Amino acid sequence: MFFNKNKIRVLFFPLIVVLIGVSGVYPQIKLTGDQWGTYAAGLYVVTGDIIVPEGRTMIVEPSTVIRFNRYCGLIVRGTLVCKSDLQRGIHFTSTATAPDTIDEWDGAKAPQWNGVEVKQGASAEFENVRILNSVFGMKVAAQSQRVELKDVMFFNNEQDFSIDDSTVYVEAGRPFNYVSVLKAEEPALKAPEKIIASPDTMVPVEKKRPPKPTKVREPWKTPVRLTLGGIAIAGVAAGVVCHLKAEQYREQYPTAGEDATEIRNKGNNLYMLRNVYIGGGAAGAAGLTITFFF
């Protein structure tokens, strides 16, 4: 028979794919306690203090945003590596900032999370990192093994950078550089002899509102996803309409008499057209799903 009731099953799989695809969002990975290993680009939410244990290394890859809940912080006892280029960046900020932005400048807003603390004997390497909306920004122990900051920017922190109890002046929104290496013969509580900072960082100047940093997310994704989602939904909807119309012809076929051949041909054509539409919808849904892996 040219009509097959099992053909309706073709509708379900692409429809499920569409629903999953259009509802996809960036996952928010929760962190708390001891952390080490490599953290791929994405959005992380810290629900309790995270600690890099002694002898362990935590590597944060570019295009990563780490949001901290109120009173939470990052404590480094081992090694922390956060290196990126200028375009992508790495961001440490508060969950109190707006969900659709990663760089919110609001001088009136009270800092929400503690900051990054590098303990005695620990190491940290930061490049193109932004630290926002914290209490003490970054606090480094004078007896840290090695701390290197390159083009690190601080925004809206109560205190930006300090070595033990000594505050180092940092101009908000301007790249800050710092290198310290603990020498074996130095007393445990003596500050590192070698400190390299940006030329202007030690000179008090009037703070100016910095330009809003570039966001991490790529602008092309939204229009592409809307287009693919529209194709997926339209394809499935058109396929459903064709299927329902073909079913009407199927019901008319036994009593059609002389018109039976014409009705059969119309039904077959609609079934084939249904498969074409659903195939297009499935392709759109697959393309939409793929965009969430980039």
What digits encode the pLDDT tens for the residues 167-179?
888 887 789 999 9
- Asked whether residue 63 carries a pLDDT value surpassing 60, the answer given is yes
How far out from the chain centre does Cα 95 lie?
13
Whether 64 and 148 share a structural domain: yes
Whether 71 and 172 share a structural domain: yes
Whether 54 and 141 share a structural domain: yes
Q: What is the pLDDT of residues 208-243, one digit of tens each?
A: 565 665 555 567 778 888 888 888 898 888 888 888
Whether 15 and 56 share a structural domain: no
Report d(CA 105, CA 150) in Å as an integer: 21
Copy the structure tokens of residue 108. 């009136």
Indicate the number of domains in the chain: 2
Q: How many helices (H) and strands (E) does the chain have?
A: 3, 16
Question: What are the distances in angstroms from CA 69 to CA 37, 126, 178, 245?
Answer: 22, 22, 27, 55
Whether 55 and 13 share a structural domain: no
Pair 163, 140: CB distance under 8 Å: yes
Has this prediction a pTM greater than 0.85? Answer: no
Whether 160 and 59 share a structural domain: yes
Whether 40 and 11 share a structural domain: no
pLDDT-derived band at 183, boundaries 50, 70, 90: low
154 falls within a domain: yes
188 falls within a domain: no
Range of the domain at 239: 5-21+219-291
Report d(CA 267, CA 250) in Å as an integer: 7
Structure-token match 């018109």, residue found: 259
Pair 71, 118: CB distance under 8 Å: no
3-state helix, strand, coil in the chain (%, to 5): 30, 30, 40
Pair 52, 77: CB distance under 8 Å: yes
